[in-house]
C-alpha cells in the first residue's frame, strides 16, 4: 500500500472570501468538521496512509494548531511551510525526494476514491504519475485530459472550449522518478509545468473513477459538498 501522502493546502482561498480572511480553507466546515479532517479520513481509511505531509502557507499556524502531529487522527503529520506561494508544485522543491510511490492531492477536494485499485493501475503501467480522473457537466473551470487508451496524451488547464468532460480530480499517485522531471524554477504549477511534460514523455496515465467528488473552491461548490458528501467513516 501507499504509506505517504502530500496534501497541497497552501492556497489563499480567494474565492471563499470573506470567510478565508478569518480561517484558512482547510478549516472551513463540512458537515460539522473541518474540511482537512475529511481529507485525512479519506487518506487513512481509503488509502492506508500513515504519514501525511501538509504543504502549507497562508495561515499555516492555524492549521498546525488544529492538527498537531496527527496522533489524534491516527496518522503522523509533518509540515512543508512555504514562506511565499510556490504554486501547486513548489513543495516538491522543499522536500528530500521520496524513495517510494506516494499520493498527492489538492486539499480542497473530496473524493471517495479506491486508492488500492488506482495504485494497482499505476504500477501495472509503470507510470511516473497517475491522475485520478472524474467527469463533470461543466469542465471549463478545470484541467481536462485527452487520453489515448489509459495514457494521457494532452493535459489542458482550464480551456474555454474543452474537448472532453473528463477532468483532473486533483488526486495523484507519483513514482519517485517524478523528481527527475521537475522544472528548474522553484515556483511552478503541476498542471502547467509538470503534467504536460509527462504527457509528452508518455509516462502520464489517467485512472477514471466514478465515486463522489467535490471541489470546495467556490461558495456554490462548498454548499454542494456540505449537502451531498458522505463521510468515509459512515
Residues 6+ apart with CB under 8 A from 138: none
4 touches 103 (CB < 8 A): yes
H or E stretch covering 119: helix 115-124
29 SS3 class: strand
* Statement: residue 1 has pLDDT above 90: no
Burial of 137: CB neighbours in 10 Å, binned 0-12, 13-18, 19+ = exposed
* Statement: residue 54 has pLDDT above 90: yes
HSE (CB half, 13 Å, CA atoms) of 181? Answer: 23
H or E stretch covering 196: helix 195-201
Look at 5 and 164; give whichever has higher pLDDT. Answer: 5
pLDDT score for 80: 96
List, in order of start, the domains of the chain with CATH numbers.
Answer: 4-228 (3.90.550.10)
Catalytic site residue from 4, 25, 64, 158: 158
pLDDT score for 233: 67
Rounded Cα distance between 29 and 38, Å, is 10
Angle, vertex CA 213, rays to CA 25 and CA 133, nearest 5: 110
Least confident of 13-27, 43-57, 78-92, 141-155: 141-155
100 touches 50 (CB < 8 A): no
Is the pTM higher than 0.85? The answer reads yes
H or E stretch covering 68: none
HSE (CB half, 13 Å, CA atoms) of 125? Answer: 24
Rounded Cα distance between 56 and 81, Å, is 5
111 touches 135 (CB < 8 A): no
pLDDT score for 106: 95
Residue with cell 523528481: 179
**Average pLDDT of the chain to the nearest whole number:** 91
* Statement: residue 145 has pLDDT above 90: no
* Statement: residue 234 has pLDDT above 60: no
179 SS3 class: helix
* Statement: residue 140 has pLDDT above 80: no
C-alpha cell at 93: 522543491
The beta strand positions in 143-230, using DSSP E, are: 143-148, 151-157, 166-174, 204-208, 213-215
Question: Quick one: CA dihedral 93, 98, 100, 102, positive or negative?
Answer: negative
* Whether residue 187 lies in the annotated active site: no
pLDDT score for 71: 96
Amino acid at each position: 500500500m501507499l504509506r505517504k501522502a502530500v496534501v497541497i493546502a497552501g492556497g489563499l482561498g480567494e474565492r471563499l472570501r470573506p470567510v478565508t480572511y478569518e480561517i484558512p480553507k482547510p478549516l472551513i466546515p463540512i458537515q460539522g468538521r473541518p474540511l482537512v479532517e475529511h481529507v485525512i479520513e479519506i487518506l487513512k481509511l481509503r488509502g492506508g496512509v500513515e504519514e501525511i505531509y501538509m504543504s502549507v502557507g497562508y495561515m499555516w499556524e492555524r492549521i498546525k494548531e488544529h492538527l498537531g502531529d496527527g496522533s489524534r487522527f491516527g496518522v503522523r503529520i509533518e509540515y512543508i511551510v512555504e514562506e511565499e506561494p510556490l504554486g501547486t508544485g513548489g513543495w516538491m522543491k522543499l522536500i528530500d525526494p521520496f524513495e517510494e510511490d506516494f499520493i498527492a492531492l489538492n486539499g480542497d477536494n473530496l473524493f471517495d476514491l479506491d486508492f488500492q485499485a488506482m495504485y494497482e493501475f499505476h504500477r501495472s503501467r509503470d507510470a511516473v504519475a497517475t491522475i485520478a480522473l472524474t467527469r463533470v457537466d461543466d469542465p471549463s473551470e478545470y484541467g481536462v485530459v485527452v487520453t489515448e487508451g489509459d495514457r494521457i496524451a494532452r493535459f489542458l488547464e482550464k480551456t474555454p472550449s474543452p474537448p472532453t468532460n473528463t477532468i483532473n480530480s486533483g488526486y495523484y499517485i507519483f513514482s519517485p522518478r517524478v523528481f527527475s522531471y521537475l522544472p528548474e524554477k522553484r515556483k511552478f504549477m503541476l498542471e502547467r509545468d509538470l503534467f504536460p511534460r509527462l504527457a509528452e514523455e508518455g509516462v502520464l496515465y489517467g485512472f477514471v473513477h466514478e465515486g463522489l467528488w467535490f471541489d470546495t473552491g467556490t461558495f456554490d461548490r462548498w454548499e454542494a459538498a456540505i449537502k451531498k458528501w458522505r463521510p468515509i467513516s459512515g
